[in-house]
């Protein structure tokens, strides 16, 4: 087996943008009606102030850098069943000393790599918890919050864990750290359980991450710092503001603007028809976004799987495959036919060539949320700027991310054509309020005709054995669907989506006394979902949050 290079090239630091006056040209188009309910007056701005200035922030090294050949040997030999176990382990001494011992011993007769690892590393703790008997589903979720809450204001020396100043909720199972987009759906449930304190704590933690690293990483691990995840921070701020008032927008406005600058890096310097990091500038000058990762090496937490995938991708340089695999991890949909060139095979992954409908809908919401925050602070030039950004993005979404077959979807900017793969991501423009009303209704009809199954919404129309495909259904996608459909007057469709998925969750809980990461929604309610790189995980943060909301909307008083 050939071993790829682990060099980080130019990614030794994480760029971080600040806003400063600079012209940002976009072609003029006719104004369109966009859903900006939080702003009383729609103001179009002709100029923007995005900058391409980079501010370096040193990144703590990930395990592949700390351990070099030892890291490669451990992951290649599959010392642990799960590749994530080793990168979450804590060294019992300095990495340099452990590597020196490894180099001195590895060629000696009788050397055992497994014994060496067991001697010099402490594996991560078991996260399993045993609930009291006879809890109702709602009682169980309320009880789970404390078991899933972590306080890690410090971390062991050389651990991959990144400390955070306040408590946070982890998903559960193998996921021992906080995750970016998971947290929004977890917050829904925490707020419903009366835990506004934890909602505020996690908002503060993410503000800390933005201020420290320039963005919210995939999770608070060193090996996640080279990418973010779907940018739900503006939705989290909005959620807190609904309970606590508009001062929440003012409090987190600096971090919202920094996050926006992170995602828009390169917008003013990228030529038409090109891309820089998360930004794509199309041939007509339209600026939209894609998923991206700074690195083009195998993921620490899935090293062997990525090496094997690259070996199967004939004719493609391995580093290109690694970049696309990492970009898919940023999408949160790792892995799905959404990102495959042939809609079937992981080795054809081309995520960086795709402009995703969900990401751009989220950035539209970020733009309108920043405008809302600027209105609270009475910075009306900022309001005008970000309403202008949102208006132009709305036009881009409705031009490029509308599939003429009757739904919102992804666009392959390198091939210059729409992706023909129906997924619940088509409902993000409805949730964000950026969909045209007639197109929202057509999208709803596609959802009803194609994706609605006996147990809820299928994640795609393809069964590829990947976890973000059929026959699996995921709690966050159901909540996004319900919110989007209700926003556009289709509560009649939102209800069967919610009730069917809730029945699926209740069935698994009644038979197994647990909530899980994903569910099978096709057939006669077969239970927890499968596929992907790891076994089905229990816990489970975002399922807990969405389930509480569904119980409120459609439950029977549980």
Check whether 177 is labelled as a binding-site residue: no
Check whether 332 is labelled as a binding-site residue: yes
Among the options 200, 334, 367, 506, which is catalytic? 334
The residues, ordered by sequence, that sit 6+ positions from 523 with a Cβ below 8 Å of its Cβ are 454, 455, 471
Look at the alpha carbons of 360, 365, 371, 373 in this order and tell me if their dihedral is positive or negative.
negative
Check whether 378 is labelled as a binding-site residue: no
Check whether 263 is labelled as a binding-site residue: no
Other CB atoms closer than 10 Å to residue 541's CB: what's the count?
A: 29
Provide the phi-psi class of 369: left if phi over 0, else alpha when psi is between -120 and 50, else beta: alpha
Task: Please indicate whether residue 238 is annotated as part of the active site.
Answer: no
What radius of gyration, in Å, describes the C-alpha atoms of the chain?
23
The residues, ordered by sequence, that sit 6+ positions from 118 with a Cβ below 8 Å of its Cβ are none
The residues, ordered by sequence, that sit 6+ positions from 500 with a Cβ below 8 Å of its Cβ are 452, 453, 454, 455, 456, 521
Task: Please indicate whether residue 334 is annotated as part of the active site.
Answer: yes
| HSE value, Cβ hemisphere, 13 Å, CA-based, for 286 | 21
Check whether 533 is labelled as a binding-site residue: yes
Look at the alpha carbons of 257, 433, 360, 394 in this order and tell me if their dihedral is positive or negative.
negative
Distances, alpha carbon 522 to alpha carbons 478, 501, 526, 544, in Å: 14, 11, 8, 21
Look at the alpha carbons of 47, 48, 52, 54 in this order and tell me if their dihedral is positive or negative.
positive
- Backbone φ and ψ for 527, nearest 5 degrees, come out as 105, -150
Cα–Cα distance measured from residue 128 to residue 150, given in angstroms and rounded to the nearest whole number: 14
Check whether 182 is labelled as a binding-site residue: yes
Check whether 326 is labelled as a binding-site residue: no
Binding annotation: 174, 181-182, 218, 227-229, 332, 533
Binding annotation for substrate: 174, 181-182, 218, 227-229, 332, 533
Positions annotated as catalytic residues are: 334, 517
């Amino acid at each position: 087996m050939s071993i790829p290079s682990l060099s980080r090239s130019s990614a030794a630091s994480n760029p971080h943008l600040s806003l400063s006056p600079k012209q940002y040209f976009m072609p003029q188009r006719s104004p369109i009606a966009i859903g900006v309910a939080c702003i009383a007056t729609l103001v179009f701005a002709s100029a923007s102030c995005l900058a391409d200035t980079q501010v370096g922030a040193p990144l703590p090294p990930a395990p592949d850098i700390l351990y070099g050949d030892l890291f490669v040997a451990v992951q290649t030999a599959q010392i642990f069943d799960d590749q994530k176990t080793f990168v979450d382990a804590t060294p019992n001494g300095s990495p340099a000393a452990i590597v020196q011992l490894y180099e001195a011993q590895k060629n000696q007769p009788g050397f055992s790599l497994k014994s060496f690892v067991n001697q010099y590393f402490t594996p991560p703790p078991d996260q399993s918890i045993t609930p009291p008997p006879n809890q109702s589903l709602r009682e169980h979720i309320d009880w789970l919050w404390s078991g899933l809450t972590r306080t890690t204001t410090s971390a062991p020396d050389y651990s991959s864990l990144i400390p955070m100043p306040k408590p946070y909720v982890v998903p559960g199972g193998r996921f021992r750290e906080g995750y970016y987009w998971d947290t929004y759906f977890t917050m829904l449930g925490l707020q419903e359980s009366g835990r506004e304190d934890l909602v505020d704590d996690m908002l503060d933690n993410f503000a800390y991450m933005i201020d420290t690293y320039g963005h919210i990483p995939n999770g608070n691990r060193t090996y996640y710092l080279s990418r973010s995840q779907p940018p739900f921070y503006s939705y989290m701020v909005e959620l807190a503001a609904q309970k606590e008032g508009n001062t929440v927008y003012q409090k987190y406005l600096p971090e919202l603007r920094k996050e926006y600058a992170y995602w828009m890096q390169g917008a003013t310097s990228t030529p038409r028809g090109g891309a820089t990091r998360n930004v794509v500038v199309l041939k007509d000058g339209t600026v939209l976004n894609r998923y991206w990762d700074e690195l083009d090496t195998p993921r620490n937490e899935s090293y062997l799987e990525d090496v094997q995938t690259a070996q199967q991708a004939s004719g493609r340089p391995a580093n290109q495959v690694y970049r696309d695999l990492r970009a898919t991890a940023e999408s949160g949909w790792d892995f799905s036919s959404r990102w495959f060139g042939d809609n079937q095979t992981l080795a054809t992954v081309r995520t960086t060539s795709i402009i995703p409908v969900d990401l751009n809908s989220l950035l539209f919401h970020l733009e309108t949320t920043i405008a809302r925050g600027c209105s609270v602070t009475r910075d009306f030039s900022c309001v005008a700027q970000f309403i202008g950004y949102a208006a132009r993005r709305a036009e881009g979404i409705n031009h490029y991310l509308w599939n003429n077959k009757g739904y919102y979807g992804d666009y392959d900017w390198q091939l210059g054509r729409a992706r023909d793969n129906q997924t619940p991501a088509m409902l993000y423009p409805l949730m964000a309020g950026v969909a045209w009303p007639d197109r929202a209704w057509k999208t709803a009809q596609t959802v009803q005709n194609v994706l609605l199954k006996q147990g809820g919404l299928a994640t795609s129309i393809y069964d590829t054995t990947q976890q973000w495909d059929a026959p699996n259904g995921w709690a966050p996608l159901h909540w996004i669907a319900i919110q989007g459909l209700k926003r556009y007057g289709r509560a009649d469709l939102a209800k069967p989506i919610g009730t069917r998925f809730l029945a699926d969750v209740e069935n698994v809980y009644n038979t197994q006394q647990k909530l899980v990461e994903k569910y099978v929604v096709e057939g006669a309610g077969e239970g927890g979902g499968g596929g992907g790189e790891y076994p089905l995980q229990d816990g489970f943060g975002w399922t807990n949050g969405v389930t509480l909301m569904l119980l409120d909307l459609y439950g029977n008083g549980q």
